[in-house]
A and B are shown apart, each in its own frame.
Chain A
Amino acid sequence: AQKVTQAQTEISVVEKEDVTLDCVYETRDTTYYLFWYKQPPSGELVFLIRRNSFDEQNEISGRYSWNFQKSTSSFNFTITASQVVDSAVYFCALNGQNFVFGPGTRLSVLP
């Protein structure tokens, strides 16, 4: 069975703070893919990143960075110097046998 856990239901930070969103997954597949999506209040899920299970190299894209740790089955997402526009619900997802989404973490960045 596959499962994605995002233990943080809601997080509030003040603008310019760094924030890390946690994602822990479970799968028996040896080949799988991990994703992060952002859902602003408008509703659309915006694709942010895709990683495959064989590539544990961390990735940085502007203020966003991702830490993939296969040993702990985690794929955490860090936003550096957060901004109000980062306020959204963030979903972690796993694509193995099926595409499974986590429950999401609501991030509020306060001015």
Chain B
Amino acid sequence: ETGVTQTPRHLVMGMTNKKSLKCEQHLGHNAMYWYKQSAKKPLELMFVYNFKEQTENNSVPSRFSPECPNSSHLFLHLHTLQPEDSALYLCASSQDRPAAGGLSSGNTIYFGEGSWLTVV
């Protein structure tokens, strides 16, 4: 059983729908991440939460709205998406995330199985 679980594994949604992706980590970590992986593109970091506080938002459109109610759970709320948003969305966690400019903690990032999203 993976330490990071994501639901749903597959999601098909229309452009006017509202849906959410859920992530839960069972590793006792304090940092959680959302990554986007599109076909033929590198992994893109979307959001970072450290101790429940959002510390990074890499210019992600507002139609993606993250929520981190506690250190174990992370959501990605989706609304009025576009077909080009179709991708694999990966949740991940690590022990913590150093502050910008700080020394690397070297913490390993552990990933969930991903949620395959198709926007039609």
> Known: A44-B112, A47-B108. Is A31-B103 also a contact (CB below 8 A)?
yes
Q: Which of B43, B45, B101, B107 contacts A97 (CB 8 A)?
A: B101
Neighbouring B residues of A93 by C-beta, 8 Å: 109
> Known: A95-B106, A97-B104. Is A45-B42 also a contact (CB below 8 A)?
no
A29 touches B42 (CB 8 A): no
**Nearest-Cβ distance from residue A3 to partner chain B, whole angstroms:** 11
Interface centre among B105, B106, B108, B113 (most CB of A within 10 A): B106
Neighbouring B residues of A32 by C-beta, 8 Å: 104, 106
Neighbouring B residues of A99 by C-beta, 8 Å: 45, 109
> Which chain A residues numbered 76 to 111 have a C-beta less than 8 Å away from chain B?
91, 93, 95-97, 99, 101-104
> Which chain A residues numbered 24 to 57 have a C-beta less than 8 Å away from chain B?
29, 31-33, 35, 37, 42-47, 50, 52
Q: How far is the CA of A65 from the CA of B70 in the complex (A)?
A: 38
- Total interface residues on A, CB under 8 Å, equals 24
Q: Which of B2, B42, B108 contacts A35 (CB 8 A)?
A: B108
Chain B interface, >50% SS class = loop
Q: Which of A35, A42, A50 contacts B113 (CB 8 A)?
A: A42
A43 touches B90 (CB 8 A): yes
Interface centre among A31, A95, A102, A104 (most CB of B within 10 A): A95
Measuring CB to CB, which residues of chain B are less than 8 angstroms from any residue of chain A?
A: 2, 42-43, 45, 88, 90, 92, 100-114, 116
**A29-B104, A50-B108, A97-B102 known, 7 other contacts, Cβ within 8 Å:** A31-B103, A31-B104, A44-B2, A44-B111, A46-B111, A91-B43, A95-B106
